[in-house]
Amino acid sequence: MSVDPYVNTWLGGDHTSVRDFVSMARQCCAPHRLYFFAEAYGWRPVKGLPPNVRGPVPAEYRQNVVQAIGCGIKGLSSWVCSASGSGWASDLPEARALRDEIVKVNRLISHIEDSLPIGTPVDLARSDAGLVPAGRIGAEIWKKERVWAGCLLCGPDTLVIAAANHIRASRLEPPTIEPARDVTVTVTLPDFLREVEAFEATEDGLAPFSACRVDEGQAYLKIDSIESGRIFILRRR
Protein backbone atom coordinates (compact mmCIF):
# COMPACT_ATOMS: atom_id res chain seq x y z
CA MET A 1 0.00 0.00 0.00
CA SER A 2 1.14 3.58 -0.60
CA VAL A 3 0.21 6.93 0.90
CA ASP A 4 0.88 10.38 -0.55
CA PRO A 5 -0.21 13.24 1.76
CA TYR A 6 0.74 16.24 -0.41
CA VAL A 7 0.85 19.00 2.17
CA ASN A 8 1.43 22.05 -0.03
CA THR A 9 -0.57 21.07 -3.12
CA TRP A 10 -3.70 19.56 -1.65
CA LEU A 11 -3.95 19.83 2.12
CA GLY A 12 -2.91 23.41 2.87
CA GLY A 13 -1.94 22.24 6.33
CA ASP A 14 1.19 22.14 8.41
CA HIS A 15 3.57 19.27 8.01
CA THR A 16 2.45 17.34 11.08
CA SER A 17 -0.28 16.00 8.79
CA VAL A 18 2.30 13.77 7.10
CA ARG A 19 2.80 11.61 10.16
CA ASP A 20 -0.94 11.62 10.90
CA PHE A 21 -1.73 10.24 7.44
CA VAL A 22 1.20 7.80 7.37
CA SER A 23 0.44 6.41 10.82
CA MET A 24 -3.22 5.89 9.96
CA ALA A 25 -2.40 4.27 6.62
CA ARG A 26 0.16 1.93 8.23
CA GLN A 27 -2.38 0.71 10.76
CA CYS A 28 -5.05 0.26 8.09
CA CYS A 29 -2.85 -1.73 5.71
CA ALA A 30 -1.08 -3.92 8.29
CA PRO A 31 0.39 -6.49 7.93
CA HIS A 32 1.16 -5.34 4.38
CA ARG A 33 4.07 -3.01 3.72
CA LEU A 34 3.51 0.74 3.45
CA TYR A 35 5.36 2.97 0.98
CA PHE A 36 5.53 6.77 1.08
CA PHE A 37 5.08 8.92 -2.02
CA ALA A 38 6.61 12.28 -1.18
CA GLU A 39 5.33 15.51 -2.70
CA ALA A 40 7.75 16.46 -5.49
CA TYR A 41 6.05 18.76 -8.00
CA GLY A 42 4.06 21.94 -8.42
CA TRP A 43 5.95 24.97 -9.84
CA ARG A 44 4.04 25.50 -13.07
CA PRO A 45 0.29 25.33 -13.74
CA VAL A 46 -0.45 21.98 -15.37
CA LYS A 47 -3.52 19.84 -15.83
CA GLY A 48 -4.31 17.90 -12.71
CA LEU A 49 -2.81 20.39 -10.23
CA PRO A 50 -4.88 22.84 -8.21
CA PRO A 51 -4.30 26.52 -9.07
CA ASN A 52 -1.92 28.64 -7.03
CA VAL A 53 0.22 25.88 -5.55
CA ARG A 54 3.94 25.31 -5.16
CA GLY A 55 6.29 22.41 -4.76
CA PRO A 56 8.13 21.79 -1.49
CA VAL A 57 11.37 23.49 -0.63
CA PRO A 58 14.21 21.07 0.23
CA ALA A 59 13.72 21.41 4.00
CA GLU A 60 10.02 20.54 3.69
CA TYR A 61 10.79 17.49 1.56
CA ARG A 62 13.40 16.16 4.01
CA GLN A 63 11.17 16.82 7.01
CA ASN A 64 8.30 14.93 5.37
CA VAL A 65 10.51 11.93 4.62
CA VAL A 66 12.00 11.90 8.14
CA GLN A 67 8.51 11.87 9.65
CA ALA A 68 7.45 9.05 7.33
CA ILE A 69 10.54 7.01 8.27
CA GLY A 70 9.73 7.45 11.96
CA CYS A 71 6.18 6.23 11.30
CA GLY A 72 7.35 2.94 9.80
CA ILE A 73 7.42 3.23 5.99
CA LYS A 74 9.23 0.48 4.09
CA GLY A 75 10.11 2.48 0.96
CA LEU A 76 10.04 5.91 -0.68
CA SER A 77 9.05 7.26 -4.08
CA SER A 78 7.23 10.20 -5.69
CA TRP A 79 4.66 10.45 -8.44
CA VAL A 80 6.01 13.13 -10.79
CA CYS A 81 9.49 13.95 -12.03
CA SER A 82 8.86 15.05 -15.63
CA ALA A 83 9.21 18.71 -16.60
CA SER A 84 5.90 18.55 -18.47
CA GLY A 85 4.21 17.56 -15.21
CA SER A 86 5.81 20.46 -13.32
CA GLY A 87 8.11 18.00 -11.59
CA TRP A 88 11.64 18.09 -10.31
CA ALA A 89 13.14 17.30 -13.74
CA SER A 90 12.30 20.80 -14.98
CA ASP A 91 14.91 23.54 -15.29
CA LEU A 92 13.36 25.87 -12.72
CA PRO A 93 15.69 26.77 -9.81
CA GLU A 94 13.12 25.48 -7.32
CA ALA A 95 12.95 22.15 -9.10
CA ARG A 96 16.72 21.81 -9.30
CA ALA A 97 17.04 22.48 -5.56
CA LEU A 98 14.46 19.81 -4.81
CA ARG A 99 16.15 17.32 -7.16
CA ASP A 100 19.44 17.79 -5.30
CA GLU A 101 17.67 17.20 -1.98
CA ILE A 102 15.96 14.06 -3.29
CA VAL A 103 19.37 12.67 -4.22
CA LYS A 104 20.72 13.41 -0.73
CA VAL A 105 17.72 11.87 1.04
CA ASN A 106 17.91 8.75 -1.15
CA ARG A 107 21.57 8.37 -0.25
CA LEU A 108 20.71 8.76 3.46
CA ILE A 109 18.09 6.04 3.20
CA SER A 110 20.55 3.73 1.48
CA HIS A 111 22.59 3.65 4.70
CA ILE A 112 19.62 2.50 6.83
CA GLU A 113 17.69 0.45 4.27
CA ASP A 114 18.53 -2.85 5.99
CA SER A 115 16.76 -1.66 9.14
CA LEU A 116 13.57 -0.23 7.63
CA PRO A 117 11.93 -3.47 6.39
CA ILE A 118 11.87 -4.86 9.94
CA GLY A 119 11.25 -1.51 11.67
CA THR A 120 8.22 -1.36 13.96
CA PRO A 121 7.08 1.99 15.43
CA VAL A 122 7.36 1.97 19.21
CA ASP A 123 6.53 4.74 21.67
CA LEU A 124 9.98 5.07 23.22
CA ALA A 125 11.21 8.54 22.14
CA ARG A 126 10.25 12.05 23.20
CA SER A 127 11.75 15.53 22.95
CA ASP A 128 11.92 18.41 25.40
CA ALA A 129 11.22 21.12 22.80
CA GLY A 130 7.66 21.81 23.93
CA LEU A 131 4.59 22.60 21.82
CA VAL A 132 3.71 25.00 18.99
CA PRO A 133 0.43 25.94 17.27
CA ALA A 134 -0.55 23.55 14.49
CA GLY A 135 -3.38 23.08 12.05
CA ARG A 136 -4.64 24.30 8.69
CA ILE A 137 -3.89 27.74 7.28
CA GLY A 138 -6.00 30.32 9.09
CA ALA A 139 -7.17 27.84 11.73
CA GLU A 140 -4.16 26.86 13.79
CA ILE A 141 -6.16 26.13 16.89
CA TRP A 142 -4.37 23.22 18.53
CA LYS A 143 -0.79 22.39 19.43
CA LYS A 144 1.68 19.69 18.50
CA GLU A 145 5.32 18.94 19.27
CA ARG A 146 7.92 21.57 18.39
CA VAL A 147 10.21 18.63 17.64
CA TRP A 148 8.53 15.29 17.01
CA ALA A 149 10.54 12.17 17.82
CA GLY A 150 9.63 8.82 16.29
CA CYS A 151 11.27 5.51 17.09
CA LEU A 152 11.51 2.22 15.19
CA LEU A 153 12.49 -1.05 16.81
CA CYS A 154 14.54 -2.87 14.17
CA GLY A 155 15.20 -6.35 15.46
CA PRO A 156 16.91 -7.10 18.78
CA ASP A 157 19.85 -4.72 18.47
CA THR A 158 18.86 -1.49 16.65
CA LEU A 159 16.64 1.54 17.20
CA VAL A 160 16.09 4.14 14.47
CA ILE A 161 15.22 7.60 15.82
CA ALA A 162 13.58 10.24 13.61
CA ALA A 163 13.60 13.84 14.86
CA ALA A 164 11.52 16.33 12.84
CA ASN A 165 11.29 20.08 13.36
CA HIS A 166 7.82 21.62 13.10
CA ILE A 167 7.08 23.41 9.80
CA ARG A 168 3.94 25.52 9.80
CA ALA A 169 1.43 25.73 6.97
CA SER A 170 2.42 27.95 4.03
CA ARG A 171 0.57 27.14 0.85
CA LEU A 172 1.56 29.88 -1.62
CA GLU A 173 4.93 31.09 -0.37
CA PRO A 174 7.90 29.13 0.96
CA PRO A 175 7.68 28.92 4.74
CA THR A 176 9.85 30.73 7.21
CA ILE A 177 11.48 27.84 9.07
CA GLU A 178 12.84 28.49 12.54
CA PRO A 179 15.36 25.78 13.48
CA ALA A 180 14.88 24.12 16.84
CA ARG A 181 18.04 24.48 18.91
CA ASP A 182 19.48 22.68 21.94
CA VAL A 183 16.95 19.88 21.85
CA THR A 184 17.26 16.70 23.88
CA VAL A 185 15.56 13.57 22.57
CA THR A 186 15.17 10.95 25.29
CA VAL A 187 14.82 7.30 24.31
CA THR A 188 13.67 4.67 26.79
CA LEU A 189 15.82 1.64 26.06
CA PRO A 190 14.19 -1.83 26.07
CA ASP A 191 15.37 -4.21 28.76
CA PHE A 192 17.20 -6.30 26.16
CA LEU A 193 19.01 -3.28 24.69
CA ARG A 194 20.56 -1.34 27.58
CA GLU A 195 24.05 -0.72 26.21
CA VAL A 196 24.06 1.19 22.94
CA GLU A 197 26.23 3.43 20.81
CA ALA A 198 24.81 6.29 18.76
CA PHE A 199 25.22 7.28 15.12
CA GLU A 200 23.69 9.88 12.85
CA ALA A 201 22.59 8.83 9.36
CA THR A 202 23.38 11.35 6.62
CA GLU A 203 23.89 11.13 2.87
CA ASP A 204 27.56 10.44 3.58
CA GLY A 205 26.92 7.40 5.77
CA LEU A 206 26.69 6.64 9.49
CA ALA A 207 28.76 8.97 11.65
CA PRO A 208 29.37 8.41 15.38
CA PHE A 209 27.19 10.77 17.40
CA SER A 210 29.16 11.72 20.49
CA ALA A 211 26.43 13.86 22.10
CA CYS A 212 24.63 10.80 23.44
CA ARG A 213 24.55 9.83 27.10
CA VAL A 214 23.11 6.59 28.50
CA ASP A 215 21.96 6.53 32.10
CA GLU A 216 19.64 4.14 33.95
CA GLY A 217 17.92 2.76 30.89
CA GLN A 218 17.57 6.07 29.08
CA ALA A 219 19.55 7.36 26.09
CA TYR A 220 19.78 11.15 25.85
CA LEU A 221 20.54 12.60 22.41
CA LYS A 222 21.64 16.23 22.72
CA ILE A 223 20.92 17.82 19.32
CA ASP A 224 22.36 21.25 18.61
CA SER A 225 19.97 22.22 15.82
CA ILE A 226 17.23 20.74 13.63
CA GLU A 227 16.03 22.73 10.62
CA SER A 228 13.98 20.00 8.98
CA GLY A 229 14.69 16.45 10.12
CA ARG A 230 17.54 14.23 11.29
CA ILE A 231 17.93 10.46 11.66
CA PHE A 232 19.84 8.72 14.45
CA ILE A 233 20.72 5.08 15.07
CA LEU A 234 21.16 3.37 18.44
CA ARG A 235 22.91 0.01 18.17
CA ARG A 236 23.89 -2.59 20.69
CA ARG A 237 27.38 -1.87 22.01
The mean pLDDT value for 78-92 works out to 78
What is the rounded average pLDDT for all residues in the chain? 90
Q: How far is the CA of 128 from the CAs of 118, 159, 179, 221, in angstroms?
A: 28, 19, 14, 11
Report how far residue 43's alpha carbon sits from residue 51's, in angstroms, rounded to the nearest whole number.
10
- What share of the chain has pLDDT > 70, as a percent? 97
In the predicted model, what is the mean pLDDT of residues 21-41? 89
Which among 60, 58, 50, 57 is positioned nearest to 9, based on CA atoms? Answer: 50
Least confident of 45-49, 76-80, 195-199, 218-222: 45-49
Which amino acid belongs to residue 117?
Answer: P
Average pLDDT over residues 143-169: 94
pTM: 0.93
pLDDT in tens, 97-131: 999 999 999 999 999 999 999 999 999 999 999 99
Q: What domains are defined for the chain?
A: 2-116 (3.30.750), 117-236 (2.60.40.1180)
| 40-54, 146-160, 182-196: range with lowest mean pLDDT | 40-54
Q: Using alpha carbons, list the distances in angstroms from residue 23 to 17, 61, 70, 122, 203.
A: 10, 18, 9, 12, 25
Query: Where does 38-154 show beta strands of DSSP type E?
Result: 75-77, 119-121, 125-127, 131-136, 139-145, 147-154
- Sign, CA torsion 56/42/88/70: positive
Count how many Cα atoms sit within 13 Å of the Cα of residue 161 in the half-sphere of its side chain. 29
